[in-house]
Amino acid sequence: MRSTVEYIGWISELEKSARNRISKDDRPRRKGILQHTWEGIPFLRKNNGEKLQIRRPTKILWRICDGKRNVREISEDLATSIGISDKPGEVESAVIESIRKLNRAGLIEVGKNS
């Protein structure tokens, strides 16, 4: 039998895992501010001032997460813009994982109607 503390920890992990699930119909919306160092290196600044250095693909993805398009549409647009529209599944998987990471970092909100 589980102790109360173990049970609460288990429920907490389930809730955390549910929050990190991202579906193709979710509409991610960016949070924070995009800035660049004086050398031109992009980074995202959270509302609390914390900074996260990012690469160009993440910058592009973060910018198009406006809460209007769903993950499927974002993936299709990215696949077309980088010239690999014949591999939508690969792009979609990468987009979902990137959105998940940005969501955990507090730089994207995810929901059906973000």
Q: Please determine, for residue 101, whether its predicted confidence score (pLDDT) is greater than 60.
A: yes
Q: Which two tokens stand for residue 66?
A: 């406006």
In a domain, 8, yes or no: yes
Evaluate whether 108 touches 29 at the Cβ level (below 8 Å): yes
Which residue range(s) make up the domain with 21?
Answer: 4-109
- If one counts the domains in the chain, the total is 1
**Dihedrals φ, ψ of 71, to 5°?**
-60, -40
Q: What's the pLDDT at 20? A: 59
In a domain, 114, yes or no: no
Q: What strands lie across the sheet with 51-53, from one edge to the other?
A: 33-36, 42-45, 51-53
CATH code for the domain in which residue 85 is found: 1.10.10
- pLDDT band at 22, cuts 50/70/90? confident
Condensed to tens digits (0 to 9), the pLDDT of residues 37-85 reads 989 999 999 988 899 999 888 898 999 999 999 999 999 888 887 777 6
